[in-house]
Amino acid sequence: MPPTNAARRRALTDAAIGLLASAGVHGLTHRAVEKAADVPPGTASNYFRSREALLVAAAERIAELHHADTGQAVKQPATLVDLLTDSLFTAATTLRSRYLAIFELQLEAARRPVLASALAGLRDTASLVTAGHHDELGLDIPREKIPALIALYGGALFTLVGAPPEHVSRDVVRSMVEVIVHGCIPRT
């Protein structure tokens, strides 16, 4: 097998993410990825021997992109509410396709143990990365609460990405985030 070209691999996984968002899991084939990436026939199967390998690679690429975005976001001084609001709003608008793709993958993982295992590993990594970000920001969030925070973020993201785009506003997102961070019962 020839050496892997990192740029071409990224182009293939980015094309796969776009296809997952636009056509769903059933629209993702090696041939469709090659066409979307504008590469010669057979290229995708040289990089990803099976459809499952292509699915896992797309999930890994989404995680890589997400962690890069959050890594940049924590470099700006902001409250947790502001950070989560910006993150969710951007994910539900500008990066909507990326998150439609990950939801497709999460649903497909219910039928594919290898994909489920890969996504579980990515969730574990997300918890560690999130904990590191909290440390950088000086947030006093107990480590055992991080998986719940990630789950609430994911639920809010699913709701926002699944909504008609015209219903997603920064104010709507901020209201959701305030409930995630502070709860829904006012403190007395």
The predicted model scores a pTM of: 0.86
pLDDT per residue as tens digits for the range 151-167: 999 999 999 999 999 99
d(CA 163, CA 161): 6
Structural domains present in the chain: 56-182 (1.10.357)
How much is the pLDDT for 131?
86
Write down the mean pLDDT value for the chain.
Answer: 91
Confidence of residue 2 (pLDDT cuts 50, 70, 90): low
How much is the pLDDT for 73?
80
